[in-house]
Structure 1
Amino acid sequence: MAPGLIELERKFIPGPGIEERLQELGGTLEHQVTFRDTYYDNSELGLMRADYWLRQRENSGWELKCPGAAGVLGPHTKYIELTAEPAIVAQLCVPAQEKAPAKLIMYLQRFRPQDYQRLLEVNGSREKPQGTKHPDGILD
C-alpha cells in the first residue's frame, strides 16, 4: 500500500438474494479474485493470542498483521501490515539486548584475573557480576 493511504476493510455477511438485488440496481461482476492464505502459529497459538497474524498468501509472499497504535477509538482496529521479510523477522524475533560489560569487571578479567576469580567465588551461589564471562568466553 502506498504511503499516506489508509486501507478500510469492512466485513459483512450478505443476506439471501443480495446478488440478484445488486443486478437489479445495475451492478455487474467486473472480476473475481480467488486466493489462498496459509496462516502460521505455534502449538500454543501464541501469535494469535497476541493478535498477530502471520500468513503466506499464495503467489504473493509473506505478510504479518499486528496491532497498530494503542488507543484507537471506535468500532475498528488499526493494524500494521508488514510484507518485507526482514521487517517481519525483526517484529517476531526481538533479539535480547546485549548488555555492555562493566568496565571494572573487564579490567579485573584482563589484568587481575586472581581478583576476578575471588570475586566469582565470593558471589558463589548468587548471580555472576554483570558482564562476566562463561568458561566458554561468552559474555553474560
Structure 2
Amino acid sequence: MAQGLIEVERKFIPGPGTEERLQELGAVLEHRVTFRDSYYDTPELSLMRADHWLRQREGSGWEFKCPGATSVSGPHTEYMELTAEPAIVAQLCEVLGGVPAQETAPAKLIVYLQRFRPQDYQRLLEVYGSREKPQGTKDPDMRLG
C-alpha cells in the first residue's frame, strides 16, 4: 500500500459559555478558515460501508481516507490520508475490486478534436498513422461519448 499521512482528530462539543470563558482568559480568534468538501461514493455506498472516504477539497485537490489501524474492527478514529492521485487510484481499485484505472488522460486538444472537429482529428490520424500515435492518447481510435 502507498505511503500517506496519518491524521488523528479529536472532536468535541464545547459547552455553553465556552467561547466567552476563552475570551475572559485572553483568547482571541486569530483567523477563520472555511472550505468546501465534495464527497464521492458508488450508488451502493461501497466506500462508506468499507469505512473509506473519497473527497475533493476545494482548492486542495483529492484526498482519500482509509482506516489507519487494520487490527481494529468497527468505526475507526485513525485514518491514513492519501493525497497523491496515483496512490488514490490504486487504493480505490483495491477497495472497489477491479475498477479499471486509466493510465494517462488524453490531451485536451485531442479530446476537443475528437468531439468537435472529427475531420481534423481524422487528418491527424492519417498524418501520424504511419509513424506514431498523436501525443496525449494511447489509442488513436478512442472515442469519447
1:40 aligns with 2:40: yes
Residues 27 and 9 of structure 1, relative CA distance in 2, 3 Å threshold: same
Checking the alignment, whether the CA contact within 8 Å between 1:52 and 1:67 is kept in structure 2 is yes
Distance 2:8 2:66 in 1: 16
Structure 1 residues 44, 82: CA separation in 2 closer, same or farther (over 3 Å shift)?
Answer: same
Query: Unaligned 5+ residue runs, structure 2?
Result: 99-145
For residue 92 of structure 2, what is the amino acid of its counterpart?
A: L
Q: Which has the larger radius of gyration?
A: 1
Q: In the alignment, which residue of structure 2 is the partner of 1:91?
A: 91
1:55 aligns with 2:55: yes
Percent identity, please: 77
TM-score (ref. length: structure 1): 0.58
Please give the alpha-carbon distance, in whole angstroms, between the structure 2 residues aligned to 1:67 and 1:80. 6
**Partner of 2:34: helix, strand, or coil?**
coil
Unpaired segments ≥5 residues, structure 1: 97-140
Give aligned pairs, total: 92
Distance 1:63 1:38, change over 3 A: same
Shift of 1:17: 1.5
Let me know the Cα RMSD of the aligned residues: 2.5
Task: Give how far 1:7 is off.
Answer: 4.1
Q: Secondary structure at the match of 2:8?
A: coil
Matched residue, 2:130: none
> What TM-score do you get using the length of structure 2 for normalisation?
0.56
Deviates more, 1:87-96 or 1:11-20: 87-96
**What is the alpha-carbon distance in structure 2 between the residues aligned to residue 6 and residue 42 of structure 1?**
25
Matched, 1:24 2:30: no
Q: Structure 1: how far apart are the matches of 2:63 and 2:25?
A: 37
1-structure distance, mates of 2:87, 2:81: 10
Query: Residue in 1 aligned with 2:10?
Result: 10
Shift of 1:79: 1.2
Say which structure, 1 or 2, has more relative contact order (CA 8 Å, 6+ apart). 2
Residues 47 and 7 (structure 1), Cα distance of their counterparts in 2 relative to 1, 3 Å cut: closer
